[in-house]
Amino acid sequence: MRKKRNKTSLWLNKNLRYIIAIMVVCSTIYYLPVIGGLAGWTSARDTLNSLHDLYGIDIYGILFFAPVVYVAYVLGVMPAVLTALVTMLVILPYAILIDPYPNALFKPAAFVIILSAVGAVIAMLQKSDEQRRRSMKELKCLYDIGKIAQGSSSTEDFLSQTVELIPRAMPYPEETKIRIMVRDRVFQSPGFEESPGKITQGLEVGGEVLGSIEISSTRNSSYLREQNHLTKTLAERIGGAVHEIELEMSLRSYFEQLEEMVEKRTRDLEQVQEKLIRSERLSVVGELASGVGHELRNPLNVIKNCVYLLNMTLADKGEEEVFNTLKVLDKQIDIANKIVTDLLDFTRIKAPSKTRVDLNNLINESLSWVAVPKNIRVKADLNGNSLEVKTDAEQVGRAFANIISNAVQAMKGKGELKINTGVEDGCVWAKFEDTGCGIPDENLEKIFEPLFTTKPKGIGLGLAITKRLVEQNGGKIEVASQMKKGTTFTVKLPLQKKEIRT
């Protein structure tokens, strides 16, 4: 407060010095003929003296318009009138003592009246100009508030900018601080402090009070009372803007939720559609399996028997090329038989017949069911404990065999297959980790779907059957893969406390 008063005092002192200096200069020039006479300027005295009454006009007196106009513009009407009276006191001795004439007082008095009138006009013009500039500042402030409201995505953003903008519309921006309270949130100018000199106006929209705006100043309250109308206008504009922004935010949130709901519903419909398509495909598979499976099995068995008889008949003749051909034929018969078996098993998987089985022994048995090439190393690091689980040994063993067979095919005749077992979180687990080509990320969610395959051979039922076999025995299967590094399948089966034996 003291600092502000010091500033005001300095401003007044500076203007007073200017006024006094102008008055001294004007007075000196006005009495220049007298000074010239005293100085002995006899030849110039008459010329200088004639300017006091040049065609009835006192040229020197006109100079006193300068201080009166300056005071009127800077300090207002009353100081201008006082300055005009001081001017009369300055010029009166000249009219009475130095150049007396009848009614000598009339001319200075009339001149002072003219000066006062001019000062009043100047002061009113200055005040009018100041009011116009203030109105322009207020209108610009209201316009800018509207622009900020249009560009703001939240009330926080809008009000944070508004509290910095409003002081610019005030006569004393540096001394004006703003605080806006909306729904228990407070936004205020930097350095805001409680002050007795303040004015408060509620933010009301449609009968609902949203909050309030408080304008605080280090000056006295009379200055703020002059801003009552502006404060009400600001409150109306800010309240309306806050209400509109809240409506926009509410609508935006509703549309976002609506979009999410539509997207979710679309995904659900797509999933239902995929399930329907899958069901239709499975129905086709079922019909194909039931109608063709048995018909294919009998001819395949006949062909296999014929191959066996040919092997026995030609055993003594030692024709290697014939034996190799028969070997290829026998292998292809096994592949065809597996496809038929997959088709039949997928459409009619029987309920599990659970018995106590040692998981490690079951894995070793499953390994014996798969022909592993000699360039593929199998590293079985099985848990030292006897991990007995209650499950269908045939079904789970077949699931393990399918996983091992897939790993062998992925490594293309060369690599390493690691098999680990263990206990974790109430489950026993078996992990099969190969060094094959890996599975692309986009296919990881599809590999357990029926009829999905990327292999040139097979119909895409192996992993689908594996998943069903594991799940109907109360377990679950997980997969992780990296391209060109390999794939890991983990089978987890439920464990009872009594099923671990050391």
Average pLDDT over residues 11-28: 79
- Look at residues 133, 168, 192 and tell me which one is the last residue of a structural domain: 133
**Same domain assignment for residues 124 and 225:** no
Task: For residues 95 and 26, state if they share a domain.
Answer: yes
Q: Which of 44-48, 315-319, 422-426, 497-501 has maximum average pLDDT? A: 422-426
- 129-146 pLDDT, tens per residue? 777 777 788 788 888 888
What pLDDT is attached to residue 104? Answer: 45
Rounded to two decimals, the pTM is: 0.44
Rounded average pLDDT over 468-481? 91
Domain boundary among 220, 252, 284: 252
Q: What is the pLDDT of residue 99?
A: 63
Whether 41 has a pLDDT exceeding 50, the answer reads: yes
| Residue 186 covered by a domain | yes
Q: Quote the CA–CA distance of 63 and 51 in Å, as a whole number.
A: 12
DSSP 98: I
Q: What average pLDDT score do residues 320-339 get?
A: 76
The tens digit of pLDDT for each residue in 155-192 reads: 888 888 888 888 877 777 777 888 888 888 888 888 77
Together in a domain, 37 and 83: yes
Of 76, 98, 133, the domain-final residue = 133
Would you say residue 33 lies in a domain?
yes
- My answer on whether 494 and 372 are in the same domain is yes
Range of the domain at 370: 351-501
Same domain, 97 and 228: no
CA 384 to chain centre: 54
In this prediction, residue 103 has a pLDDT band, given cuts at 50, 70 and 90, of: very low
Q: Are residues 39 and 80 in the same domain?
A: yes
Given pLDDT bands bounded at 50, 70 and 90, which one contains residue 39?
confident
Task: Tell me: do 116 and 33 sit in the same domain.
Answer: yes
Residues 33 and 160 reside in one and the same domain: no
Residue 7: inside a domain, yes or no? yes
Establish how many alpha carbons lie within 13 A of residue 130's alpha carbon, considering only the half-sphere containing its beta carbon: 12
pLDDT value of position 502: 47
pLDDT in tens, 193-242: 777 677 788 888 888 888 888 888 766 556 666 777 778 888 888 888 88
* Nearest one of 391, 404, 408, 419 to 499, comparing CA atoms: 391
pLDDT digits (tens, 9 = 90+) for 239-266: 888 888 888 888 888 888 998 999 999 9
231 and 199 in one domain?
yes
Q: Would you call 194 helix, strand, or coil by DSSP?
A: coil
Q: Is 363 exposed, middle or buried (0-12, 13-18, 19+ CB in 10 A)?
A: buried
Question: Looking at the 3D structure of the chain, how many domains does it have?
Answer: 3
Query: Tell me, what CATH number does 467's domain have?
Result: 3.30.565.10
